[in-house]
Chain A
Amino acid sequence: MPKDHGIGASSKRREDVRFLTGNGNYTDDINVAGQAYVHFLRSDVAHGRLTKVDTSAAAEMPGVIRVFTGADFEGVGGLPCGWQVTDKHGNPMQEPAHPVLAQGKVRHVGDPIAAIVAETPAQARNAAEAIEIDIEDLPAVIDMKAALQEGAPKVHDDLDNNLCYDWGFVEENKGAVDEAFSKAAHVTTLELVNQRLVANPMEPRVAVGDFNRSTGDSTLYTTSQNPHVIRLLMGAFVLGIPEHKLRVVAPDVGGGFGSKIFHYAEEAFCTFAAKALARPVKWTSSRSEAFISDAHGRDHVTKIELALDADNNFTALRTETYANMGAYLSTFAPSVPTWLHGTLMAGNYKTPLIYVNVKAVFTNTVPVDAYRGAGRPEATYQLERVVDKAARELGVDPIALRRQNFITEFPYATPVAVEYDTGDYNATMDKLLEMVDRDGFDARAAESAKSGKLRGFGVNTYIEACGIAPSALVGQLGARAGLYESATVRVNATGGLVVMTGSHSHGQGHETAFPQVVADMIGIPEDMVEVVHGDTANTPMGMGTYGSRSLAVGGSAIVRATEKIINKAKKIAAHLMEASEGDIELKDGQFTVAGTDKSVAWGDVTLAAYVPHNYPLEELEPGLEETAFYDPANFTYPAGAYACEVEVDPDTGKVEICSFAAADDFGNVVNPMIVEGQVHGGLAQGIGQALLEGAVYDSDGQLLTASYMDYAMPRADDVPSFQVDHSCSTPCTHNPLGVKGCGEAGAIGSPPAVVNAVVDALNRGGHNVTHIDMPLSPSRVWSAMNG
């Protein structure tokens, strides 16, 4: 019987009611009395020197309140980078300044040059046309390898070159890895591109700055996954406003997928301008603006080599990746191709020797940062493609080759610095094969052949590091922040609870899932627990939601705070029942004394805490409110096996996904309905990457895919219904819930399954195709077949 409440129940989402009735409160729904409107004038060239920015005519336009340029921000800090990578020689990465508004140069199409504040949005837009700008065009650097050539134009004049860092991991192992390659019985090599993507949450970014003239306090309403991080970065590094004078509110957030983690110029601008003008100001991004101002994702070019011995055991792995940073370092950009990518290169396999080299490159493109999976999809894609290619070259079954090399004993320390606590990769593979009816494949392929189609089957495994992250470890790796999470649990006198968390949902259903945990621990109905999040004024300092961390890290903080509550409540209950504290048990919202029939209800104890007439005041403070900060001991390691079946039309190259199955190990699951929904969404994004999506720049640095007309988002008829399973569970050993995280798995695990399936279909059809770069558009597939 499925559970109907508490941990493990598919409780219906309480947030849905407001979203389904038009009562959501997204940032663009917020209007502050007297607000003015901001329009950013953005560069339409990729690289150039600003020789003139004359705002005098614009300032005279109707409704214009003030026009700001880079000059207004000369005494203000730039946008900070939150992660410093150390290169293979032990030197810090090259870290350019990132002004709020362009100073001296523009470095990508979309770089903001000026900001107009006016009475109406239309007046602000109209005035932008009256700003006189001269830009001396400079040659743009778009291709990463060209950007690293001697004499290439520099994106940042004050840096040595366009190389942010050249990272080796683990540098000391390089010699041993090279030696293993020289002794290998077989080496499989693959060069591939993990294309640039645009996250495209359906809600565009919005920022509303407000300033209270009476208190001198600033407030920013923003579309953010982590309001506390924005408050810290913007307050301390950009505007010099202490946290106690700055409040950041992220109300309902319409999706993020990573792109709303980062601190953006528009947030700093609106906060700054509201104070400068003593007037609220609002900016709402258009979708076209989002394409050239939201951080992009992926954009890696990789060569991967796998060495095998004569028995097909993996003996070494070597990769060289060029990772595009874009024109500036977005908040967490340097960590993505390094610590979120290199550490995952062991995958599910016991490859003993691994060397990862990453060259991070500045180009005249929109900055690139974390997008759903962030580094881990790039690692999984190259690894699972090269393993599939090796199986094909060796003429062995790709599943058997994987199984032979699976890690089977845990804990397992990889050669790339992480230790997997639990897992069972054969179990998820067995489950997957049960789900997909592989034996029926030949019959299905014959059916496809009748209509002239080629059918293919692709499989892959994945592992990810989630539950980001142990602070001391990431500190050693260059993080400039801690990555704990916080929770305050406030019990009210009549027994209801408010959970204030630093995690912040942007679609994950925290308002439903967190109460399931707390209600289960106490034994009360879920609707007695309310979640407060997204506002620095009423939540403890926390790091927010990304990296599949909210339940594993944020949920653990909630468990710890609730444990403190229960411990104190037991002391009160012991006093009320004149029993010893050690004998008190809590079940179904009742405190009992072991071995007796004495009991007091949860509500009696909470009331006593606030009306302490009969209360051990000499030993215990009144009240019932506790805070916990939880710093994880390790990452969590969700893993799984995915399979895809495709049909390819050889006449057009069009790929159709016939079925997609995912068998995941997420450890314990709090709300299966929400977990399955997370997997579905991730799968659609991964399939979108595999077949449809890709941000394309021309050689001048113009983004050719800057709207939904050119950037192909997956639509309902591009994806199938999915088969998902999470019954193979090896609970995490180091967090109190035994959970691992599920938000990114689908996007990490699905691209290689799709590409493996298409390559399989083509080979079955007699086409000797070893690889096609994503997105597998009809023209690319057709060209590969007819190449």
Chain B
Amino acid sequence: MTQVTMTVNGKSVSGTVEGRTLLSEFLREGLRLTGTHVGCDTSQCGACVVHVNGNAVKSCTMLAAEAEGAEVRTIEGMADADGTLSTIQQAFQDHHGLQCGFCTPGMVMSAAALLSENPKPTEAEIRAYLEGNICRCTGYHNIVKAIMAASGQEASAVAAE
């Protein structure tokens, strides 16, 4: 058992973890931040994506101990303090970019990372970037549309209808 301390959504937190405890487990079980989801055990679905020091990371592939001292942001930290949705979250609602909502936290965190690297991505760039995030519900159409809209681009450029 080791003690870890990190900043999660702006708050300093610490806890005792086993060497093998994954960051995803620490967030979900240790901190009860259950917005981060676990959809696979081969690090391929992206439901668990969080930001660690500003980078999108699959939290199921990182040990909690490796996040010692890091700045971690999860889906719970995306909205403004007063509850107002961020531009990306709002775009997902406006463009119906989610159905069951299970992939959504990872999608939003990946989309946020994409837009900070590339503020005006093309549709092809969005689709390529989301390669590590599986959604079984939406067929991706409205996710792509939402990210285009969040980047300030005409969403209907994607939408065929």
- How far, in angstroms, from A106 to B81 measured CA to CA in the complex? 54
- How far, in angstroms, from A203 to B105 measured CA to CA in the complex? 13
Q: In this complex, which of B75, B76, B94, B130 has the most chain A Cβ atoms within 10 angstroms of its Cβ?
A: B75
Q: Does B1 contact A (CB under 8 A)?
A: no
The tally of residues in A whose CB lies under 8 Å from a CB in B reads 61
Q: Which residues in window 79-118 of B have CB below 8 A to A?
A: 79, 83, 85, 89, 92-94, 96, 98-105, 108
Which of B85, B100, B145, B158 has a CB less than 8 Å from the CB of A254?
Answer: B100
Q: Does A680 contact B (CB under 8 A)?
A: yes
As a 0/1 sequence over residues 45 to 83 of chain B, the CB contacts with chain A under 8 angstroms (1 = contact) are 101000000000000000000000000001110110001
Residues A677 and B143 in contact, CB atoms below 8 Å apart: no
Whose C-beta in chain A lies nearest to the C-beta of B89?
A: A20
Residues A22 and B144 in contact, CB atoms below 8 Å apart: no
Whose C-beta in chain A lies nearest to the C-beta of B159?
A: A721
Which of B38, B101, B134, B138 has a CB less than 8 Å from the CB of A24?
Answer: B101
Cβ of A223 to closest chain B Cβ, rounded Å: 10
**Which residues of chain A have C-beta atoms less than 8 A from B137's C-beta?**
202, 255, 507, 677, 681
Residues A716 and B104 in contact, CB atoms below 8 Å apart: no
- How far, in angstroms, from A200 to B136 measured CA to CA in the complex? 7
Q: In this complex, which of B36, B42, B126, B136 has the most chain A Cβ atoms within 10 angstroms of its Cβ?
A: B136
Q: Does A129 contact B (CB under 8 A)?
A: no
Residues A26 and B136 in contact, CB atoms below 8 Å apart: no
Q: Does A17 contact B (CB under 8 A)?
A: yes
Whose C-beta in chain A lies nearest to the C-beta of B102?
A: A254
- How far, in angstroms, from A705 to B107 measured CA to CA in the complex? 25
**Which residues of chain B have C-beta atoms less than 8 A from A681's C-beta?**
99, 136-139
Residues A722 and B89 in contact, CB atoms below 8 Å apart: no
Residues A723 and B160 in contact, CB atoms below 8 Å apart: yes
Residues B92 and A717 in contact, CB atoms below 8 Å apart: no
Residues A507 and B99 in contact, CB atoms below 8 Å apart: yes
Which of B78, B101, B144 has a CB less than 8 Å from the CB of A716?
Answer: B144
Q: Which residues in window 20-41 of A have CB below 8 A to B?
A: 20-24, 26, 28-29
Q: Does B151 contact A (CB under 8 A)?
A: no
* Contacts known (A22-B74, A254-B100); A16 close to B93, Cβ less than 8 A: yes
Cβ of B64 to closest chain A Cβ, rounded Å: 14
- How far, in angstroms, from A139 to B89 measured CA to CA in the complex? 53
Whose C-beta in chain A lies nearest to the C-beta of B25?
A: A121
**Which residues of chain A have C-beta atoms less than 8 A from B158's C-beta?**
721
Which of B18, B136, B140, B142 has a CB less than 8 Å from the CB of A255?
Answer: B136
Q: Does B153 contact A (CB under 8 A)?
A: no
The tally of residues in B whose CB lies under 8 Å from a CB in A reads 60
**Which residues of chain A have C-beta atoms less than 8 A from B134's C-beta?**
202, 708, 713, 715
- How far, in angstroms, from A624 to B78 measured CA to CA in the complex? 42
Q: In this complex, which of A254, A708, A709 has the most chain B Cβ atoms within 10 angstroms of its Cβ?
A: A254
Residues A202 and B161 in contact, CB atoms below 8 Å apart: no
Residues B99 and A22 in contact, CB atoms below 8 Å apart: no
Cβ of A197 to closest chain B Cβ, rounded Å: 12
Whose C-beta in chain A lies nearest to the C-beta of B101?
A: A19
Q: Does A297 contact B (CB under 8 A)?
A: no
Whose C-beta in chain A lies nearest to the C-beta of B93?
A: A16
Whose C-beta in chain A lies nearest to the C-beta of B142?
A: A677
**Which residues of chain A have C-beta atoms less than 8 A from B133's C-beta?**
715-716
Which of B42, B104, B141 has a CB less than 8 Å from the CB of A20?
Answer: B104
- How far, in angstroms, from A202 to B100 measured CA to CA in the complex? 9
Residues B136 and A20 in contact, CB atoms below 8 Å apart: no
Residues B140 and A21 in contact, CB atoms below 8 Å apart: no
* Contacts known (A202-B39, A202-B135, A715-B134); A287 close to B99, Cβ less than 8 A: no
Q: Does A201 contact B (CB under 8 A)?
A: yes
Q: Does A97 contact B (CB under 8 A)?
A: no
**Which residues of chain A have C-beta atoms less than 8 A from B127's C-beta?**
716-717
Residues A202 and B103 in contact, CB atoms below 8 Å apart: yes
- How far, in angstroms, from A201 to B40 measured CA to CA in the complex? 11
B-to-A contact residues, CB < 8 Å: 18, 20, 33-42, 44-45, 47, 74-76, 78-79, 83, 85, 89, 92-94, 96, 98-105, 108, 123-124, 126-128, 130-131, 133-145, 158-161
Known: A287-B42, A681-B137, A713-B134. 9 other contacts (CB 8 A): A21-B78, A22-B35, A23-B35, A682-B139, A709-B42, A717-B124, A721-B159, A722-B139, A724-B161
30 intermolecular pairs with C-beta atoms under 8 Å apart:
A16-B93, A16-B98, A19-B104, A20-B78, A20-B89, A22-B33, A22-B36, A202-B103, A203-B102, A255-B137, A287-B39, A287-B40, A287-B42, A507-B101, A508-B99, A661-B160, A677-B137, A678-B99, A681-B99, A681-B138, A707-B40, A707-B41, A707-B42, A714-B139, A715-B131, A715-B133, A716-B127, A716-B133, A717-B131, A719-B140
